[in-house]
Amino acid sequence: MTPICLVGIGKIAVDQHVPAIDGSADWTLAATVSRAGSVDGVPAYSDFDQMLAERPDIPVISLCLPPVPRYEYAAKAIAAGRHVMLEKPPGATLAEVQALETMAQTAGVSLFATWHSRMARGVAAAKSFLADKTVTAGKITWKEDVRRWHPGQDWVFDPGGMGVFDPGINALSILTEVLPAPVHLQSATLSFPENRQTPIAADLRFSGGISGAFDWRQEGPQTWDITLQAGDDLVELQEGGNRCMINGQEATLSELDEYPALYARMAGLIKNSSSDVDLSPMIHVADAMTLGQRNIVAAFAF
């Protein structure tokens, strides 16, 4: 098994990355780097440079810390000859991720800009069904409770935190994966709490008759749905893409859950000496920030 170091031991690392690594035949968690978190039985570092210097036996780094500091860590890892996985979104800006891609190519290492929702178990079936069709309309409804999923994490509302697009980019990653032809953003309305720097809700309209409603204020049941119409055919992705209905019938699901599938993909990229850095979901978010009409709404506090 290949040793891997997990950087940023927060909620997403504990809930998803650690179990995925532990359950994989490809990987062994050999070290962690975090200011506060750790994993029982795994050597823990608080200094990334120290870990790189002391552990040349670890060839792969998985970065789970927030997007703003991620570029610096990724650049150091690549310079040290390590393969790198980037939690979504892969960075704070498009340009910095493009720079990392160039660095990785020069260094001869693999770089994987992961989009975990693309690995949701119903996504492959939707993509396969739509491959030879023309999508004529579609709707994204992505509404959840930020207090439940990011409790007390003020960074999500700071510049670079992306606000409601932190979860919303998951929907956009699915959309860009399953559509047989690309779309582009035409207009957006963004709702900013009066005390915050990033939006808490957004309404987007794309070419091709596709719209999206995103909200971080939904209590109770959470909604992560995408519907796509292709002529007389209807594809419904529910539960964040983990359920797929095609013309009212349940589709066959992929075998692996999202994060195990990501780590299997990373193992394949390294084996084939290749990278996967698709920025199309992030481009839609950047376009929303460029085109979006800004509305001020009530202050938000955790």
The residues annotated as belonging to the active site are 88
E strand or H helix at 48 = helix 48-54
User: Does the CA dihedral 185-188-193-197 come out positive or negative?
Assistant: positive
Cα–Cα distance, 122 to 135 (Å, whole number)? 18
**C-alpha angle 273-275-279 in degrees, rounded to nearest 5:** 175
Adjacent-strand bridge partners of 192 = 296
- Token pair belonging to 251: 């589709």
Cα–Cα distance, 164 to 192 (Å, whole number)? 10
Adjacent-strand bridge partners of 5 = 31, 61
**CA terminus-to-terminus distance, the chain:** 41
Cα–Cα distance, 299 to 218 (Å, whole number)? 15
Cβ-based neighbours of 30, under 8 Å, separated by 6 or more: 3, 4, 5, 42, 43, 55, 57, 58
The 3-state DSSP class for residue 142 equals strand
User: For the sheet containing 210-215, what is the strand order?
Assistant: 249-250, 243-246, 233-238, 223-230, 137-143, 210-215, 201-206, 185-193, 293-297
- Token pair belonging to 99: 């720079």
Cα–Cα distance, 49 to 87 (Å, whole number)? 20
